[in-house]
Amino acid sequence: MIEIINLQKKFGENVALNGITTTVKDGEKVVVIGPSGCGKSTFLRCLNCMEDPTGGSIIFGGEDLADMRVDINRHREKMGMVFQQFNLFNNMTVLENIMLAPVHLRTKRLKQAKRKNFGRKIANLFRKEKKALIEITETKASIKKEAEETARKLLARIGLEEKADVYPATLSGGQKQRIAIIRSLAMNPQVILFDEPTSALDPEMVGEVLDLIRELANEGMTMVIVTHEMGFAREVADRVIFMSDGVITEEGTPAEIFDNPQNPRTQHFLRAVLH
Amino acid sequence: MQTKIETFIRVFIDEGGYREVLVGLRNTLLIAVLGLLIGIVIGTVIAAIRVMPKYKRLPRVLDKICQVYVGFFRGTPMVVQLLLFWYVLLPLMGVNLPALSIGNFSIGPEVWASIIVFGLNSGAYISEIMRGGILSVDYGQTEGGRSVGLSYGTTMMKIVIPQAVKNILPTMGNEFITLIKETSVVSFIGATDLYKTFNDMGSNTYEFMVPYLVMGMIYIVLVSVIALGIKLMERRLARSDRNH
Ligand SMILES: Nc1ncnc2c1ncn2[C@@H]1O[C@H](COP(=O)(O)OP(=O)(O)O)[C@@H](O)[C@H]1O
Ligand SMILES: [Mg+2]
């Protein structure tokens, strides 16, 4: 799904990632742990180029995302991201938050197809062999209707149908984060990146968010999760990556990493967080 | 004082001076409102350019151009800009601005020129206001938009700028009020605004006290009404902060 080869990121002189190589397989749940400042967020944010890598490759959808020439927006649609601070759009209702990108992007493509067809029709006037038109089955209204149905279904799934028309400012942190998660689901992504999704939450709301992530994991969604919730990591991870100083120090199954860590830094870190 | 007031009433009402004043008032509002609208468009574009990430060459070049533009319009008096536009730029380019008239509603070339200069000028100020507004919106909003595949431009237009506008509405209101007040310089190129009509009345009667007094009151009422309008608009826009 994602192949990461010798990924590097420098902020000026500061080396945040110093050569990361790993592969995220289809349906795999990768959990990234490590001390604060070791580059976990930077690693995750380089995967969808929220930070532009300064070296190496990220192969996704048959293209190298680290190449500045690829259309990163198209790939981001297929790579959801969930942030520590939720980042719901404050100027939109919950429903608008979920519908914005699907409606906007599909409408844009519809317009492009119509424009192309128009050009072909004109060109066909002068052609002997007529070129076929692109088949258009949707209208702006149908796109909207479909997106709204999807959005409401997703809201129902997390039990927040009645919040469809309120603004984010009125929601609790747990509600915001669950909505942020279904907002990325509405794009029908192939993988979702989570950057400490529960770190900004009051303790009593951590559970509801982890429950939702666990559900998605069980349904087979591919995920890369940065988290400090070690219990959760052990439970959902297929593979745990321990990072320190911008490199992968150790990786393995949860049992290998949590029960029998080999590297002294991993041992030290786990001793500190588990006790 | 008695005779001064009588003189004013004679000129203002009996001799139809109020009609001139209405034309002046209309021009003042026209110049300020259209100037503001043009300014908002220019200012928003400039601000969006100036906050763009600057890895690539094009944003850097555009940024420099915007800096020069903003520097010029903020660094020189409005009167100077108006005079340069009317007496230097237009003749050099050989442009004759048209006069537009629909029925007895006519707008002369001086007024068009004023609208353009006011638009260019307020564009420079509004770009700075807007830039501050955009920077005041949490960067997470941009990241949220980009993470679902929206382009930089779409994220700006749909997510960041609407929030920026809400934050800067009071400052924008002040800019509009400034424009209203500044319209009093357009008589330098012969445009008829509120100030000019009262000034003409004074010159014709050699009696300035009452006309200027009335003029002052009209400006105050105008500005108060606008300030009230802005308050109402702010309250409407605060919707997304409340439960409902
Ligand atoms: N935008 C940035 N500008 C400069 N330095 C940054 C930036 N983001 C992260 N860093 C640096 O990169 C390193 C890794 O940070 P980060 O990925 O946030 O760590 P973690 O998420 O593991 O706590 C840190 O030294 C941090 O100071
Ligand atoms: Mg982090």
Asked if residue B9 has pLDDT above 60, the reply is yes
Domains defined along chain B, listed by start = 26-198 (1.10.3720.10)
Asked if residue B243 has pLDDT above 60, the reply is no
Centroid of ligand 1 to alpha carbon of A34 (angstroms): 13
Q: Answer yes or no: pTM beyond 0.80.
A: yes
Asked if residue A255 has pLDDT above 80, the reply is yes
Centroid of ligand 2 to alpha carbon of A83 (angstroms): 10
A184 to chain B, closest Cα gap in Å = 7
Characterize B176-212 residue by residue with b for buried, 16 or more Cβ atoms within 10 angstroms of its Cβ, and e for exposed: bbbbbebbbbbbbbebbbbbbbbbbbbeebebeebbe
Q: Considering chain A, what is the average pLDDT of its residues? A: 93
- Rounded mean pLDDT, A175-193: 96
Long-range contacts (CB closer than 8 Å, 24 or more residues apart) made by B4-10? B4/B207, B4/B209, B4/B210, B5/B210, B7/B205, B7/B207, B7/B210, B8/B201, B8/B205, B8/B207, B8/B210, B8/B211, B8/B214
Kindly identify which residue of chain B lies nearest to residue A48, measuring between CA atoms: B147
Is A39's C-beta closer than 6 angstroms to any atom of ligand 1?
A: yes
Q: Which of A153-162, B176-185, B201-210 comes out lowest in average pLDDT? A: B201-210
pLDDT band per the 50, 70, 90 thresholds, residue B239: low
Q: What is the pLDDT of residue A180?
A: 97
Q: What is the pLDDT of residues A187-221, one digit of tens each?
A: 999 999 999 999 999 999 999 999 999 999 999 99
Best of B56, B138, B148 to disrupt the A interface (most A CBs within 10 Å) is B148
Asked if residue B233 has pLDDT above 60, the reply is yes
Could you say which residues from 140 to 169 on chain A have a Cβ atom under 8 Å away from some Cβ of chain B? 166-167, 169
Asked if residue B244 has pLDDT above 50, the reply is no
Ligand 1 atom closest to the Cα of residue A51 is 1
CB contact under 8 A, A169 and B242: yes
Kindly identify which residue of chain A lies nearest to residue B153, measuring between CA atoms: A73
Q: What is the pLDDT of residue B141?
A: 96
Strand partners, A250: A242
Asked if residue A81 has pLDDT above 50, the reply is yes
Asked if residue B242 has pLDDT above 60, the reply is no
Question: Under a CB-based contact definition with an 8 Å cutoff, are residues A222 and A191 in contact?
Answer: yes
Asked if residue A21 has pLDDT above 90, the reply is yes
Asked if residue B159 has pLDDT above 70, the reply is yes
- Rounded mean pLDDT, A112-130: 88
pLDDT band per the 50, 70, 90 thresholds, residue A230: very high
Cβ-Cβ contacts under 8 Å, B144 against chain A: 83, 87-89, 180
Q: What percent of chain A is modeled with pLDDT above 90?
A: 86
CB contact under 8 A, A87 and B147: yes
Q: Considering chain B, what is the average pLDDT of its residues? A: 89
Best of A46, A65, A89 to disrupt the B interface (most B CBs within 10 Å) is A89
Distances from the Cα of B200 to the Cα of B18, B126, B187, B211, B213, angstroms: 12, 33, 11, 9, 14
Ligand 1 atom closest to the Cα of residue A38 is 22
Cβ-Cβ contacts under 8 Å, B163 against chain A: 90-91
Kindly identify which residue of chain A lies nearest to residue B243, measuring between CA atoms: A170
Q: Which of A134-143, A240-249, B63-72, B130-139 comes out lowest in average pLDDT? A: A134-143
Centroid of ligand 1 to alpha carbon of A274 (angstroms): 24
Q: What is the pLDDT of residues B32-82, one digit of tens each?
A: 999 999 999 999 999 989 988 777 788 899 999 999 999 999 999 999 999
Cα angle for residues B37, B150, A4 (degrees, 5° grid): 150
CB contact under 8 A, B148 and A170: no
DSSP symbol at A135: P
